[in-house]
Amino acid sequence: MRFPRTRIRSAALAAAGAAVLGTALLQSPATTNSASAAATGPAAATSSYAAAAVGPVIWSDEFNAGAGTVPDSSKWRYDIGGSGWGNNERQYYTNSTRNSAHDGNGNLVITARREGGYNCHYGPCEYTSARLLTAATFTRTYGRFEARMKLPRTQGLWPAFWMLGTGNNGWPGNGEIDIMENIGKEPSNSYGTLHGPGYSAGEAVSSRYTLPNGQQFADGFHTFTVDWEPNVVTWYVDGIQFARKTPADLGGDPWVFDHPFFMIMNVAVGGYWPGYPDGSTVMPQTLTVDYVRVNSLTSGGGGGSQVTALGKCMDVAGANSADGTPVQLYDCNGSGAQLWSRPGDGTIRALGKCLDVAGGGVADGTKLQIATCSGNAAQQWTYTGAKDLVNPQSNKCLDIPSGSAANGNRLQIWTCNGSAAQKWTL
């Protein structure tokens, strides 16, 4: 299945801080306007957000089939062809076991070879490889997506493990999440990237992870992971978080990571970003995959539970932990923005902040927000046997304005009146 598009790579991905951009169906890199974070080894970037709680495996391929057998067709299908994929790549993707097969040792091996026999966009093809995808077999909204892989290593190679969004909005409107991209000339680097409308190609939001102490990804197996929650995508290498992106990182552009995506893994040969094979290139090269797994995420943001009324959840808008972020009503989705804890000091907390009456107000209609926990009376709450959440300073109830269950309805305090708009389940 293909999503053709006219995207080409920028020839210049210079400088150490430059970031890779996605593969989409056509992979592509460039520098990014949003700060491209570079993380190195165990000192990689940490986050004020806690990691999501990982639930059970809901899809996996452990690649335990016999040597020489094809990938499981109930899980993987092929992209086939030598169009250049928008990046002037040199390989022809095949469905041959010469390019993708089990090795009999619990791995799937994608092999890039120097060989002809096909016609490519530039004439007779010089290389073959494989690209496998789950578009026709498995799509998913949210979860942990992880692969354990040993990458190839030589000039001109471009392995990737990534996801594309389904839908009718094309690329980048449907979105793209790059879990891992590596290029042969940077054997110690892995890149994680988001593409969407207004932040694709040279404007994508990207971060880099560098293995410590001169290690290279071809030296052994490494795990590449994305935790994808509502309004949050977090990247890890070998369990080390190196990037976390939310709508606040997009400069006002739309967040399109709220619908089903499918997975892709491939090895490209050549292209504007990785450059092309030269006299130093050694072929064949292999991407060896131990497993690919998808887990559900049962929670995020450090624990807690949902606070519900009218069939919706109390939610921190945009999963933004900044002081003053509105607290609203929204569809329950299990994200950290909807997981509230009560540590026993009278506060109600999410994303490391406290539920707060704006400006310490006491009037009907004063809006709610999150703010740094300070112990003041605007952050004190009592939960009654009648399921009211009362702010004692104002003697007012946490209230849904007009009793409307519309998503985004900002919560307030109001004189307690016993209505369903003030009855909360913790």
Do 253 and 259 form a contact (C-beta atoms < 8 A)?
no
Do 21 and 34 form a contact (C-beta atoms < 8 A)?
no
Minimal CA–CA distance to 246: which of 325, 169, 313, 310?
A: 325
Distance of CA 341 to the CA centre of its chain: 25
Please pick, among 176, 186, 203, 229, the residue that the annotation labels catalytic. Answer: 176
- The sign of the torsion formed by the CA atoms of 324, 330, 335, 339 equals positive
- Amino acid 39: pLDDT: 66
The overall pTM is greater than 0.85: no
What backbone torsions phi and psi does residue 168 show, to the nearest 5 degrees?
-110, 15
Decide: residue 326, CB within 10 A, 0-12 exposed, 13-18 middle, 19+ buried. Answer: middle
Other residues' Cβ atoms within 10 Å of the Cβ of residue 117: 10
Is-catalytic flag, 203? no
- Amino acid 126: pLDDT: 98
Task: Look at the block and give the residue holding tokens 């559900």.
Answer: 296
Is-catalytic flag, 181? yes
Higher per-residue pLDDT: 44 or 399:
399
Same fold flag, 37-298 and 308-422: no
Sequence letter at residue 135: A
Q: How does residue 14 score in pLDDT terms, banded at 50, 70 and 90?
A: very low
Q: Which helix (H) or strand (E) holds 233?
A: strand 232-237
Q: Let me know if domain 37-298 sits in CATH 3.40.50.410.
A: no
Whole-number Cα distances in Å, 27 to 4, 185, 222, 394: 11, 16, 22, 56
Q: Can you name the CATH fold of 308-422?
A: Trefoil (Acidic Fibroblast Growth Factor, subunit A) (2.80.10)
Minimal CA–CA distance to 187: which of 299, 289, 285?
A: 285
Q: Which helix (H) or strand (E) holds 172?
A: helix 170-173
Higher per-residue pLDDT: 385 or 355:
355
Sketch the domain layout of the chain as residue ranges.
Answer: 37-298, 308-422
Do 307 and 314 form a contact (C-beta atoms < 8 A)?
yes
Residue 38, both tokens: 């570079």
Is 80 exceeded by the pLDDT of residue 307? yes
Is 90 exceeded by the pLDDT of residue 288? yes
Is 80 exceeded by the pLDDT of residue 320? yes
* DSSP string of 108-142, one letter each residue: EEEEEEE--SSEETTEE--EEE-EEE-TTT--BSS
Do 307 and 340 form a contact (C-beta atoms < 8 A)?
yes
Is 60 exceeded by the pLDDT of residue 111? yes
For 156-171, b where at least 16 C-beta lie within 10 A, e where not — what string?
bbbbbbbbbbbeeeeb
Is 90 exceeded by the pLDDT of residue 37? no
Minimal CA–CA distance to 78: which of 66, 90, 96?
A: 96
Using CA atoms, how far apart are residues 424 and 426, in angstroms rounded to an integer?
6
Rounded to the nearest integer, the mean pLDDT of the chain is 86
Over residues 204-244, the pLDDT tens digits come to 999 999 999 999 999 999 999 999 988 899 999 999 999 99
Q: Give me the count of residues in the chain.
A: 426
Please pick, among 146, 181, 203, 229, the residue that the annotation labels catalytic. Answer: 181
